[in-house]
Amino acid sequence: MTEAKPVSGTNLQKISDRYSESERLLSEARRYLAAGVSSNARLVGKRPPLFITHAQGSALIDANGNRYIDYVIGLGPMILGHRAEAIETAILESLAIGQVFGGQSSLEAQLAARIVDLVPCAELVRFTNTGTEADLLAVRLARAFTGRPKIIKFEGHYHGWGDGLAVSIKPPFVQADLRNSVQTHPESLGMTPSSYEDVNVLPWNDLDAIDAYLNWQGQTVAGVIMEPVMCNNGVITPSPGYLEKVRELCTACGALLIFDEVITGFRLAPGGAQERLGVIPDLAIFGKALAAGVPMGCVAGRADVMDMLTQGVMHGGTYSGNVTGLSVGLATLEQTCTLGGQALKTLDSMGNQLIERLEESLKRHRIAGQVQGYGAHFGLLFAPRERRILNFQDLRLVDRSAGDEFVAKMLDVGVRITSRASYFLSTAHTSSNIQDTAEAADAILAEMARQK
């Protein structure tokens, strides 16, 4: 497959023609699939969900034959790009071993040992199939270990779609003076209040809020769970000193600090955000880049907490620790985390080049916008540069319609970014990809500026 390049201009092809096959296939799929998709996240945006025929490296081709530079890469898992040779080899070799034994494989201990070696908080590991499962297990472990009921989570942070944690992910905006009076907002119909009654929601990046709560109710809190970088809503980074202070507060009141590193793990550094940012939680949750596209998750953390799995905490999973997932996990970490994580440093550097180019374009075309995150994963927010976005409620300042327009126009010219205008880099992205993407974004931002 040749390298994907953006097409010049959007008038070469009518939008309805460009996505006609995806539209047709979606209509056909709706006859058999609920909403025509297997995840509601794929229905978001101004363009139809793409039906992909094949992919390789940083490139995707859709049912209409359109070619894209792909910065979605499966919403993060494809850290090595699509169809990486090392991953295909690991999958084929795993087929000669078997898949699910209902018993143990030595691969489990091998991959767990690698994770313990890389991740600062990891003393013991338990494998799951998904990040959602790992989140639910981490919360169960925290409650069992502490004997306390309450969990603190933060507005805008995503910890899977399970009833016990799927609250206040995208809640309504409230008045600024009510920020410390956060209401727990269920994200779905079908959730009963009893399923999340012991989950308390706070604004993130707000030390006063969590300090006040833990000083008031700290002895009832089992754990504080957060994305160490708020990846699922804008890729918002923690303020200087925030994670360190939350770590201190949790230690002081005996609550466990839980990092959801499903996105940041094995992406921001071999040891995840906790290595890069220098704050070590008690438990951490991993997925996505752990196994380069094969379903795999895990909880890793302190041995005394993880030992609760031998003292009455139930966790099961027919497919947990399946041979293919373990084989691919070992192959992925071999590619990304050896030589001090040089591969991750390289993709991070390329992403930083793209961040710099985007910031230059925003400034040149006098468009209100800010880029947050790290080279490996970052987001573009159409909001005034003078005030940094710190948490979910600050997203009220973001021009969402401009973001939606930018995402759609980038797709029209062959650059695929997430519906929230964020970018995932992979080791398959090239300097040419970065150059072409920057030029496409600059042309679109210039057009948007003219249309103001």
Residue 352: pLDDT band with limits 50, 70, 90: very high
Of 9-13, 94-98, 244-248, the one with minimum mean pLDDT is: 9-13
CB 385 within 8 A of CB 368: yes
Q: Are residues 154 and 179 in the same domain?
A: yes
Q: Are residues 98 and 125 in the same domain?
A: yes
How high is the mean pLDDT of the chain?
A: 93
Closest by CA position to 7, among listed 449, 446, 444: 444
Give the up-direction half-sphere exposure of residue 236: CA atoms within 13 A in the CB hemisphere: 29
pLDDT of residue 103: 87
Q: Is the pLDDT of residue 13 over 70?
A: no
Section 380-392 average pLDDT? 94
Q: Are residues 110 and 227 in the same domain?
A: yes
Tens digits of residue pLDDT in 210-259: 999 999 999 999 999 999 999 999 999 999 999 999 999 999 999 999 99
Q: Are residues 134 and 278 in the same domain?
A: yes
Of 7-11, 301-305, 345-349, 365-369, the one with minimum mean pLDDT is: 7-11
Section 31-47 average pLDDT? 86
Section 363-374 average pLDDT? 97
Burial-class residue 63 by CB neighbours within 10 Å (0-12, 13-18, 19+): middle
Establish if 1 belongs to a structural domain.
Answer: no
Establish if 78 belongs to a structural domain.
Answer: no
Establish if 99 belongs to a structural domain.
Answer: yes
Residue 12: pLDDT band with limits 50, 70, 90: very low
Q: Are residues 179 and 41 in the same domain?
A: no
pLDDT of residue 444: 97
Establish if 263 belongs to a structural domain.
Answer: yes
Closest by CA position to 295, among listed 2, 78, 29: 78
The parent domain of residue 443 ranges over 15-70+341-450
pLDDT of residue 15: 79
Q: By percentage, how much of the chain surpasses pLDDT 90?
A: 86
Establish if 430 belongs to a structural domain.
Answer: yes
Q: Are residues 297 and 221 in the same domain?
A: yes
Q: Are residues 264 and 355 in the same domain?
A: no
Q: Are residues 273 and 345 in the same domain?
A: no
pLDDT of residue 41: 81
Establish if 241 belongs to a structural domain.
Answer: yes
**Final residue before a domain boundary, out of 302, 337, 372:** 337
Establish if 6 belongs to a structural domain.
Answer: no
Domain CATH code at residue 103: 3.40.640.10
Section 97-121 average pLDDT? 95
Q: Are residues 151 and 225 in the same domain?
A: yes
Catalytic residues: 158, 260, 288
Domain CATH code at residue 437: 3.90.1150.10
Section 325-338 average pLDDT? 97
| Statement: the pTM of the whole predicted model exceeds 0.85 | yes
Q: Are residues 306 and 350 in the same domain?
A: no
Q: Are residues 358 and 327 in the same domain?
A: no
**Final residue before a domain boundary, out of 313, 337, 361:** 337
Establish if 266 belongs to a structural domain.
Answer: yes
**Final residue before a domain boundary, out of 337, 365, 397:** 337
Q: By percentage, how much of the chain surpasses pLDDT 70?
A: 96
Section 301-330 average pLDDT? 96
The number of domains in the chain is 2
Q: Are residues 232 and 254 in the same domain?
A: yes
pLDDT of residue 7: 65
Of 81-90, 182-191, 336-345, the one with minimum mean pLDDT is: 182-191
